[in-house]
Homo-oligomer: A and B are copies of this chain.
């Protein structure tokens, strides 16, 4: 029970799911949105904007970074983050390659 079976799916399925998981929380969407608007941002600015504790924001940033959606480098005592647009392009491509083509071919349900 509760043994995770994610490994038993295809690489593409896993990587799409991993990207989706990274953006599956409104706080992380909000972080990405701020980064998109400002190009780059230090952690403190993000903390100011979100209704979450600093440690929680740091945790979300870490997840986004681990998933490859953002890049970050330290700048003195601060950390500067920005979006990794390539990851987004890859997601778009993979996502569309799974679904987009098939849209028009399909009629309604059952």
Contact = CB atoms under 8 A, between A and B. Distances in A.
Contact of A26 (B14, B29, B32): B14
B82 A110 contact: yes
Contacts of A82: 106, 108-110
Contacts of A77: none
Q: Give the oligomeric copy count.
A: 2
Given A16-B29, A29-B17, A82-B109, A98 B24 contact: no
A51 B102 CA distance: 24
Interface of A: 5-6, 8-10, 13-14, 16-17, 20-21, 23-30, 32-33, 36-37, 39-40, 51-52, 71-73, 75, 80-83, 85, 88, 98-99, 102-103, 105-110
